[in-house]
Structure 1
Amino acid sequence: MAEAATQGKQTHGFQTEVKQLLQLMIHSLYSNKEIFLRELISNAADAADKLRFEALSNGELFENDANLRVRVSFDADKNTVTIDDNGIGMNAEDAANHLGTIAKSGTADFFKNLTGDKAKDSQLIGQFGVGFYSAFIVADKVVVRSRKAGDSADNGVEWTSEGEGEYTVETINKESRGTEITLFLKDDEKEFADDFKLRTIIKKYSDHISTPVEMWKEGTPESEGPDGKKIEATEGQWEVINKADALWTLDKSELKDEDYKEFYKHISHDFEDPLTWAHNKVEGSSEYTSLLYIPKRAPFDLWNRDKQRGLKLYVQRVFIMDDAEQFMPTYLRFVKGLIDSNDLPLNVSREILQDNKVTQSLRKACTSRVLKMLERMGKNDKENYQVFWNEFGQVLKEGPAEDFANKEQIAKLLRFASTHNDDATQSVSFPDYVERMKEGQDKIYYLAADSFEAASSNPALEIFRKKGIEVVLMYDRIDEWLMSHLTEFDGKQLVSVTRGDLDLGDLEDEESKKAQEEADKQYESSVARFKEALTDKVKEVKVSHRLTDSPACIVTDNSDMSPQMIELMKQMGQEVPDVKPVFEVNMEHELVKHIDQVQDEAQYKQWVEVLLDQATLAERGTIKDPGSFVKRLNNLMMSLAK
């Protein structure tokens, strides 16, 4: 950071990410320029909310002015627009933290995803958030003057930047608390220094913000009416432009979809519409209102579990806190919105919320509301549900482990690929699978692998394809962990096709079972020879009854940890056991018959080890010693060529 002090003014360098974001917004949001006013008014309204909350315990912060408001003004001659609030305000430290840096994780990932395509990149901004920096979409210079509520007048701060490499911070005198942002508009953005234009934007984007948004209305001079009577002059005054009604307090019949969408953008700083929402007012033993939204895009810091996230909390319409995580479980951390309770005290804190019975009741109700909203979308709007699943599906998969009470309901919402379809799209639900189950089938079969390709080509599927039995294909990293917590659905056991002995239940007739028993006896000596050749590389060797086309496969014993779970634990830095696979051999395969006839024990051992490596590659996509595998394979090919 560059820093130079001159007459009390300090010059700082922007974070690299800030400079890149500024340039991206300036050049990408050409079709959404007017959102700058929505963003700055939203920030000002938040500042008013924060002061209202702080003043609950310290009324002196109001400084004899408890009428909180946001004012928008312009100067056509100077080509400026000013947004002024009397909210909580900032000191020099706040200005440096909030205006000079981007305090969001995932920033690096954000820039990795940039494509250079303006339309696509502008969508990325929606995932990242726009906020204060949207001012530079229309301004080539921004001046912020602020003083924190409760500070002395000489402790104000002025922040100035032209949106390039630097910004300056200077201590100033400011009599009134709050923040005043002046935008020096670019020459080609003069349209925004206009009364009608600004009023139109405010009505469009900020109508249902609970803080009044005011603009100056000019007075009228004394005049004479048509009847010759004198009409008194009127003085100019500040006029409230928005409805200034907290949207969630209004009846649903009074609101349009556009009202909900714009309010979502206000509370989320997203500029894409939400996928869906639920607005509910509950009366009775517990009285509260909730307005919950499902976003269309995941933020870049979705996987940062340390980031505070949650609902906005209001108590009797008074803002209490942002990101109240107590009202939504972690696996629903993507939900945006608010809850307004009549049953919590106005001085509620995060600590009080932790063990509060009212909090627990509200959390249960909000969780149920979101799950029902998702279930409804999954049934009635499959296209949008697929959008949701692609963005948030892996987060929702945390649910069965975290929320035992709602495990079955969450399981209905999960989506996977399956052998019923030909592609990797995760669109098959457990209810879909159950509806298609064959007569006599009492289990749900699944296969977990590292990729869709590895799952769909796994040899363990061969018998299922032959018998026309659908298998759910799982290839997300979290899936094996999920299945350790989700063992049944709709009373039907979930069974991995790569674990333990093959169990088709009533789908296997008595004749097939008898043939399998006879095969086990017939090939006992061959199996023993395989086991001896592999020494300590496998846990057991068996005659396979699940293969029809492949010579061999490996499976995991029911009592052992799966390879996917082992890999997941390794990535988490956990110690893992040394698990050996069960090696299943298709004794009817021509290659296996050839190997079984090899008399040279050294060559036989090479054949068996190659067979094991091939089976391991098919199951796991990798082997411990690929060099030795290639060497053995080359030796065998050379011997066949002689």
Structure 2
Amino acid sequence: MSKEKGSLSIHSENIFPIIKKWLYSDHDIFIRELISNACDAITKVKRLNSLGEADLGEETAFQVKVVLNKTDKTLKFIDNGIGMTDEEVKKYINQIAFSGAEEFLKAYKDKGDVEQIIGHFGLGFYSAFMVASTVEIDTLSFKPDANAVKWQCDGGTEFEMEEGTRTTRGTEITLHLGEDGKDFLSEYTLKTTIEKYCSFMPYPIYFEVADAEAKKDEEGNIIVEEPKALNEVSPLYLKQPSCCTDEEYKEFYKKTFRDFQEPLFWIHLNMDYPFNLKGILYFPKLKTGFDTMEGSIKLYNSQVFVADNIKEVIPEFLLLLKGVIDCPDLPLNVSRSFLQNDGFTKKISDYITKKVADKLNSLFKTDRESFQKFWGDINPFIKYGILRDDKFYQKVEGIVLYKTIDGEYLTMEAYLEKHGEKLDKQIYYVSDLQQQAQYINMMKEHGVEAIVLDHMIDPPFISHIESKKDDIKFKRVDSKIADLMKDLEENADEETSKKQTEAVTNVFKKALKKEDCTIQLENLKSEDVAGMLIQSEENRRMQEMMKQYGMGGLNLGSMPTEEVLVLNKKHPLIKYVLDFAGQESEDLNLVAQQVYDLAVMTHKPLSAEAMTKFIKRSNEIMKKMIAQ
């Protein structure tokens, strides 16, 4: 063919500078696009060979090779795929946005199942110009009478095209890296980028450095290393679940996510209708704090990495998991990095949610022991899902477990069957086993099993459950003195009780220097408790919510704390206060202050100043004891 020069034919809706500068948000995406194109080229020629329209002989070693030359500042992408004729170069390269893959699919869609063709838009090749000052194509078509073609362009709209010298079928694309591409002269950067985008592409991808120094052994002999593909051409998620072993699942997890802690369990997704979706979702052992829980759902399209954690496809609450999802039917836009708004993506999201809920229900019903064993790790995820997705809530509400202070795991239904009548459908809970130990002991003494809700997600979770179930109320053990803990007085004199309360209140107000001190006198069944501090559940939740959302610095003066000091009339110290109320006594003040601080300590930590006073006062009381 004669040497030819010309201008690229640019469709008005696909202006070349936009393709070069703004089509892709990440410059490293060119590696994915060029390797994807190379895999497409191999898929096409394999398909033609199977139809008898190409003669490849016994050749089976299909591969993609990436070659770096640091000295020449070049990067080559080489495949042994279908190649191109000069007419095809004119059509598919010179006319930007004319998709060769799309045309190929149309031509062969009625000739049996076509292996997935990755490219759909005809734009991926031009991503090379984001990093290259000049791009060359050397290609030879599979057609017996075809001539090799060499094409070259410096990133403008001008190109040169002439007969090439390539002698084997396939395509070699050479990027002369410019200033924007200098980072890709790094062997490490290239290999990690290939692994990021191309880990599961369907043909082996090899990487080499052309100008690397030869490795030699101690005797000076050159060491020839067997080339090793950077990708896994048949990833585990493409296999039938029945053909996969537990060890294979665990190994795939470790390799893919570089997490050497074994996952708790997993779900293998395998769907062919009404859309094609395959993948594996892993439930990892979660970290302690909810704010540090980070998952990673890698989304693929025909074994090509698209992005991590795309919320249009992956339900938000599932982003706490780790996994791989491959859906060739995704309605991607031209950059493949973002999804078009489409009802189809919602169907995919709903399907994934259903499969996760089904797996959890199955595990609950068939292996309750394992489910309880995992509960400590998976309950934040399930509760988050309940908060974020009402359909998920409806599917799993019956399998939510509540761990009691005795270590028993009960569903809400089982808890209410056991205690509901006694507690009038109130569920008592503990948020700090150590801090609230006194309240826990009182609960145990009266046969009530409080449940443990000590995770950051639990406050919004229980509020959500209350909104769904009008007759259920959660009460922290220090929010109210349950009637079952009180010893009702026979023939109680209301007037006497009122006077006693006023007298004791005056003692505590004076001793504590707190005018807003609220006292409640009770006959508690337990004689070991002198005083307890309680606060209404609603008030405390509001304060905690304001603090959580950074509103703790606001003036809360208009919002009373509503803390109530409950004093036990049966306790000797409170009897002492009642006997000497109205008298001026330093000992009376010491007792009142000590009872109050002890009550605070079972409710919340003392402030630094209060703790200093408490220790000093405790020493004074012990001195008085030994002085008697």
- Determine if the TM-score, normalized by the shorter chain, exceeds 0.5: yes
Maintained 8 Å contact 2:405/2:452: yes
Instruction: Tell me, in whole angstroms, the C-alpha distance in 2 between the residues paired with 1:495 and 1:521.
Output: 34
Pairing 1:159-174 to 2, within 5 Å after superposition: 159=187
**Aligned residue identity for 1:268:** F
Of residues 325, 335, 358, the one that matches 2:344 is 358
Q: Which residue is 1:526 aligned to?
A: 500
Please list the CA deviations of residues 125-173 of structure 1 after superposition, one character each: whole Å capped at 9, or x if unmatched. xxxxxxxxxxxxxxxxxxxxx9998732686625489xxxxxxxxxxxx
Indicate whether 1:628 and 2:613 are aligned.
Answer: yes
Deviation at 1:592, TM superposition (A): 0.8
Deviation at 1:581, TM superposition (A): 1.2
Maintained 8 Å contact 2:568/2:574: yes
Structure 1 pair 611–390 and aligned structure 2 pair: CA distance change class (3 A): same
Instruction: Tell me, in whole angstroms, the C-alpha distance in 2 between the residues paired with 1:51 and 1:88.
Output: 15
Structure 1 pair 478–313 and aligned structure 2 pair: CA distance change class (3 A): closer
Q: Which residue is 1:446 aligned to?
A: 428
Deviation at 1:325, TM superposition (A): 3.8
5+ residue gaps, structure 2, are 1-27, 47-62, 72-130, 136-172, 190-204
Of residues 438, 442, 467, the one that matches 1:458 is 438
Instruction: Tell me, in whole angstroms, the C-alpha distance in 1 between the residues paired with 2:45 and 2:572.
Output: 84
Q: Which residue is 1:276 aligned to?
A: 265
**Aligned residue identity for 1:627:** T
Structure 1 pair 302–609 and aligned structure 2 pair: CA distance change class (3 A): closer
Structure 1 pair 258–625 and aligned structure 2 pair: CA distance change class (3 A): closer
Q: Which residue is 1:328 aligned to?
A: 314
Indicate whether 1:180 and 2:208 are aligned.
Answer: yes
Instruction: Tell me, in whole angstroms, the C-alpha distance in 2 between the residues paired with 1:91 and 1:410.
Output: 56
Maintained 8 Å contact 1:442/1:492: no
Deviation at 1:316, TM superposition (A): 5.2
Question: Helix, strand or coil for the counterpart of 2:613?
Answer: helix
**Aligned residue identity for 1:542:** Q
Question: Helix, strand or coil for the counterpart of 1:333?
Answer: helix
Question: Helix, strand or coil for the counterpart of 1:554?
Answer: strand
Instruction: Tell me, in whole angstroms, the C-alpha distance in 1 between the residues paired with 2:546 and 2:217.
Output: 55
Pairing 1:217-616 to 2, within 5 Å after superposition: 244=234, 247-282=236-271, 284=273, 286-298=274-286, 303-304=291-292, 310-315=296-301, 318-341=304-327, 343-347=329-333, 353=339, 355-381=341-367, 384-385=370-371, 388-407=374-393, 417-421=403-407, 429-430=411-412, 433-434=415-416, 436-437=418-419, 441-449=423-431, 451-455=432-436, 457-459=437-439, 461-462=441-442, 464-487=443-466, 493-498=472-477, 500-503=479-482, 515=489, 518=492, 522-532=496-506, 533-534=508-509, 536=514, 538=516, 540-544=518-522, 548=526, 549-562=528-541, 565=544, 569=548, 575=554, 577=556, 579-598=561-580, 599-600=583-584, 603-616=587-600
Maintained 8 Å contact 1:275/1:296: yes
Maintained 8 Å contact 1:552/1:612: yes
Structure 1 pair 475–274 and aligned structure 2 pair: CA distance change class (3 A): closer
Structure 1 pair 344–516 and aligned structure 2 pair: CA distance change class (3 A): farther
Instruction: Tell me, in whole angstroms, the C-alpha distance in 2 between the residues paired with 1:490 and 1:613.
Output: 37
The CA RMSD measured in Å over matched residues stands at: 5.1
**Aligned residue identity for 1:180:** E
Deviation at 1:584, TM superposition (A): 0.9
Maintained 8 Å contact 1:460/1:546: no
Maintained 8 Å contact 1:52/1:319: no
Deviation at 1:611, TM superposition (A): 1.1
Question: Bigger shift: 273-282 or 409-418?
Answer: 409-418
Maintained 8 Å contact 1:418/1:470: yes
Instruction: Tell me, in whole angstroms, the C-alpha distance in 2 between the residues paired with 1:160 and 1:317.
Output: 22
Instruction: Tell me, in whole angstroms, the C-alpha distance in 1 between the residues paired with 2:540 and 2:252.
Output: 48
Instruction: Tell me, in whole angstroms, the C-alpha distance in 2 between the residues paired with 1:452 and 1:356.
Output: 48
Structure 1 pair 639–272 and aligned structure 2 pair: CA distance change class (3 A): closer
Instruction: Tell me, in whole angstroms, the C-alpha distance in 2 between the residues paired with 1:301 and 1:419.
Output: 21
Deviation at 1:395, TM superposition (A): 4.8
Deviation at 1:486, TM superposition (A): 3.3
Maintained 8 Å contact 2:487/2:523: no
Instruction: Tell me, in whole angstroms, the C-alpha distance in 1 between the residues paired with 2:424 and 2:364.
Output: 25
TM-score, normalization: structure 2?
0.57
Instruction: Tell me, in whole angstroms, the C-alpha distance in 2 between the residues paired with 1:545 and 1:367.
Output: 52
Instruction: Tell me, in whole angstroms, the C-alpha distance in 1 between the residues paired with 2:406 and 2:288.
Output: 33
TM-score, normalization: structure 1?
0.56
**Aligned residue identity for 2:569:** M
Instruction: Tell me, in whole angstroms, the C-alpha distance in 2 between the residues paired with 1:496 and 1:158.
Output: 60
Please list the CA deviations of residues 571-617 of structure 1 after superposition, one character each: whole Å capped at 9, or x if unmatched. 88654736251111111212211121123255434422221111001
5+ residue gaps, structure 1, are 1-48, 70-83, 93-145, 162-176, 212-243
Deviation at 1:550, TM superposition (A): 0.6
Maintained 8 Å contact 1:86/1:179: yes
Structure 1 pair 386–282 and aligned structure 2 pair: CA distance change class (3 A): same
Q: Which residue is 1:218 aligned to?
A: none
**Aligned residue identity for 2:208:** E
Instruction: Tell me, in whole angstroms, the C-alpha distance in 2 between the residues paired with 1:51 and 1:300.
Output: 39
Instruction: Tell me, in whole angstroms, the C-alpha distance in 2 between the residues paired with 1:580 and 1:365.
Output: 47
Question: Helix, strand or coil for the counterpart of 1:437?
Answer: helix
Please list the CA deviations of residues 386-411 of structure 1 after superposition, one character each: whole Å capped at 9, or x if unmatched. 56444454454434433344346555
Instruction: Tell me, in whole angstroms, the C-alpha distance in 2 between the residues paired with 1:483 and 1:90.
Output: 61
Percent of paired sites with the same residue: 19
